[in-house]
Amino acid sequence: MKTFIHLWKYPVLLGILTTFGLLAALTGTGLWHVLSWIAMVIPVLVCVRYGFFLEKKVRRTGN
Amino acid sequence: MTITKTSARIWFEIHKWTSLICTAFLLMLCLTGLPLIFHEEIDHLTGKEPEAKEMPANTPKMDLDAIEEIALKQYPSNVIRYMFWQKDEHPNVVLVSLADSLNAPPDVANFVSMDERTGEVLQQPRFDEGFMYVIYKLHVDMFAGIGGKLFLGLMGLLFVASIISGIMLYGPIMKKYDFGMVRAEKSTRIKWLDLHNMLGVVTLIWALVVGITGVINTTSDIVLGLWQMGQLAEMVEPYKNTAPLEGELSPIDAAVKTAQERAPDMNPSIVAYPGTIFSSQHHYAVFMRGTTPVTSKLIKPALVDARNGSLTDMRDMPWYVNMLFISQPLHFGDYGGMPLKIIWALFDVITIVILASGLYLWFARRKSAEAQMARIESMAMEMEEATA
């Protein structure tokens, strides 16, 4: 269970943000569009953060 | 998620083969999809979008029968098959679609766009030429008709399968590492493997949604056929044995008003004339669009008798048609303003990186496997020589 949470915590969180963003713009207007942009730009920023700013050292976890 | 070594091996093979088959087509779809996200803006810049001039908000609209007459004046030998309105994108503009005959092929048509208040002809656009048309056709059916469309649907299904098998491999690979781990200091192959996994898992939901809705969109011809045989046939059941329409049709303006009276909170979106694929032999089909964010994506058909102008029936579309209509915006990304389009384009670019890196990883892995095989072979040879 610990491994599962460790593995999937961020992917699930980003998936929820994306789903929310996709539906918010579809079902709402105005503020909902803004919330949708914010929710959906986060996964893109995560890609940029981990894709372009590569860490030199790999941190292994305890398990 | 713990999976055994054998099942990891099976998921790996599924991931490899589904990806290998669909990657070339998915790359094409992503590349052609990129300009299509912005087709409205591109059409606008190239002057292909009709624009009605500013007039007071309550300027009355022209009678649609007069609109009909003006359109026919541009193409005197043609007949009118459809009228279209896009209230949000092109306010006060009506687009009339004409053809040599009612049963000319669907993609052979002449268009006249008009200001619906003054009847001024704005454009006679051609939708079957130019750069964006080529891009669009490549994306939708690769110029291969319904067969090409369904083939791309199949590639989309493989894409979805490769995403799901990719998720199954993410666990075993990342078990010992933190999220976002990219081993940059090891080999190029390891770095790109980590990038492929990270980008893939982050854009997972978007890729699944765009993939699945894309597959649904490829079924549009089938959905139309089902609707014709199902709901449309039911609605015109009483007319089954009626003789074909002859002579003058009832006025179009009155027909649209009849539909509007029945659905006062909706706006006409398409009128299909009798004898076209979107209507019966005896009716104007007036497709009404709602005004809320969701209902504006759906359309509701009203059938108006084209002989006496009376309303025959008006119904909600069946679920499979609505599913298609809801799939369209979720595939195009055009439903949340410019920022959403830009985000859509960024996701699209990331998907291109995932596809290309996947292809690279397959090459690199084959190369390293071959090198390993060669090493084993030369070691075996050496051992043989030593024992000889």
Q: Taking Cα atoms as reference points, which of B23, B11, B12 lies closest to residue B351? A: B23
* Candidate from B195, B202, B337 with C-beta closest to A43: B202
Residue A17 Cα, gap to closest chain B Cα (Å):
9
Q: Could you tell me if B280 and B244 are in contact, meaning their C-beta atoms sit under 8 angstroms apart?
A: no
Contacts of B209 in chain A (CB under 8 A): 18, 22
Q: For B53-69, write each residue's pLDDT tens digit.
A: 889 888 999 999 999 99
Q: For B196-231, write each residue's pLDDT tens digit.
A: 999 999 999 999 999 999 999 999 999 999 999 999
Rg of chain A, C-alpha, whole Å: 15
Q: Taking Cα atoms as reference points, which of B117, B145, B171 lies closest to residue B3? A: B171
Q: Taking Cα atoms as reference points, which of B239, B233, B218 lies closest to residue B318? A: B233
Predicted pLDDT at A56: 54
For residue A62, name the pLDDT band (cuts at 50, 70, 90). very low
Q: What are phi and psi of B155, to 5 degrees?
A: -60, -35
Q: Could you tell me if B281 and B275 are in contact, meaning their C-beta atoms sit under 8 angstroms apart?
A: yes
Residue A27 Cα, gap to closest chain B Cα (Å):
5
Q: For B64-122, write each residue's pLDDT tens digit.
A: 999 999 999 999 999 999 999 998 889 999 999 999 999 898 888 999 999 999 999 99
CB contact under 8 A, A37 and B339: yes
For residue B1, name the pLDDT band (cuts at 50, 70, 90). very low
Integer Cα distance of B267 and B260 in angstroms? 7
pLDDT at B263 over 70: yes
Q: Taking Cα atoms as reference points, which of B73, B123, B72 lies closest to residue B98? A: B72
CB contact under 8 A, B340 and A25: yes
Interface test with chain A among B186, B343, B354, by most A beta carbons within 10 Å: B343
Q: Could you tell me if B314 and B262 are in contact, meaning their C-beta atoms sit under 8 angstroms apart?
A: yes
Length reported for chain B: 388
Name the average pLDDT for chain A.
88
Q: Taking Cα atoms as reference points, which of B211, B379, B230 lies closest to residue B301? A: B230
pLDDT at B236 over 50: yes
Q: In this structure, what token pair is assigned to residue B78?
A: 């043609």
Strands of the B311-314 sheet, one edge to the other: B121-123, B110-115, B93-99, B79-85, B267-272, B283-289, B299-305, B311-314
User: Which residue of chain B has the CA closest to A14?
Assistant: B202
Please give the share of chain B, as a percent, with pLDDT higher than 90.
75
Predicted pLDDT at A63: 40
Q: What are phi and psi of B212, to 5 degrees?
A: -65, -45
Pairs of residues, one from chain A and one from chain B, whose beta carbons lie less than 8 Å apart: 111
Interface test with chain B among A9, A13, A44, by most B beta carbons within 10 Å: A44
Which residue type does B348 have? D
pTM metric for this prediction: 0.90
Residue B327 CA from chain centroid, whole number: 8
Length reported for chain A: 63
Which residue type does B291 have? T
CB contact under 8 A, B202 and A14: yes
pLDDT at B21 over 70: yes
Q: For B306-318, write each residue's pLDDT tens digit.
A: 999 999 999 999 9
Residue A2 Cα, gap to closest chain B Cα (Å):
10
Q: Taking Cα atoms as reference points, which of A22, A16, A27 lies closest to residue B333? A: A22
Interface test with chain A among B164, B197, B201, by most A beta carbons within 10 Å: B201
CB contact under 8 A, A10 and B180: yes
| Whole-Å CA distances, B94 to B98, B117, B335 | 13, 9, 21
Q: What value does the mean pLDDT take over residues B268-277?
A: 95
Which residues have CB under 8 Å from B252's CB, separation 6+?
B64, B65, B68, B83, B271, B284
Residue B2 Cα, gap to closest chain A Cα (Å):
8
Helix (H, G, I), strand (E, B) or coil at B353: helix
* Candidate from B170, B294, B346 with C-beta closest to A26: B294
Q: Could you tell me if B28 and B134 are in contact, meaning their C-beta atoms sit under 8 angstroms apart?
A: no
Name the average pLDDT for chain B.
92
Q: In this structure, what token pair is assigned to residue B126?
A: 């051609």
**Could you give the ipTM of this predicted complex?**
0.89
Integer Cα distance of B103 and B92 in angstroms? 29
Which contiguous run of DSSP H or E holds residue B80? strand B79-85
Residue B180 Cα, gap to closest chain A Cα (Å):
6
Q: What value does the mean pLDDT take over residues A34-43?
A: 98
Q: What value does the mean pLDDT take over residues B329-357?
A: 97
Q: Can you name the residues that pair with B93 across neighbouring β-strands? A: B115
CB contact under 8 A, B179 and A19: no
Strands B79-85, B267-272: pairing kind? antiparallel
Rg of chain B, C-alpha, whole Å: 27
Q: For B292-301, write each residue's pLDDT tens digit.
A: 988 998 999 9
Predicted pLDDT at B218: 97
CB contact under 8 A, A27 and B294: yes
CB contact under 8 A, A37 and B340: yes
Integer Cα distance of B367 and B347 in angstroms? 30
Q: In this structure, what token pair is assigned to residue B335?
A: 């439903």
For the packed helices B145-174 and B188-202, what is the interaxial angle rounded to 10 degrees? 110
Integer Cα distance of B253 and B255 in angstroms? 5
Q: Report which DSSP code applies to B90.
A: S
Integer Cα distance of B146 and B151 in angstroms? 8
Task: Report chain A residues touching chain B, CB-CB < 8 A.
Answer: 3-4, 6-11, 14-15, 18-19, 21-22, 25-29, 33, 36-37, 40-41, 43-44, 46-47, 49-51, 54-56, 58-61, 63
CB contact under 8 A, A7 and B205: no
Residue A15 Cα, gap to closest chain B Cα (Å):
6
Contacts of B179 in chain A (CB under 8 A): 7, 9-11
pLDDT at B370 over 90: no
Residue B122 CA from chain centroid, whole number: 27
User: Which residue of chain A has the CA closest to B185?
Assistant: A56
Q: What are phi and psi of B66, to 5 degrees?
A: -70, -40
Interface test with chain B among A5, A6, A18, A19, by most B beta carbons within 10 Å: A18
| Whole-Å CA distances, B385 to B13, B373, B374 | 37, 18, 16
Q: Report which DSSP code applies to B287.
A: E
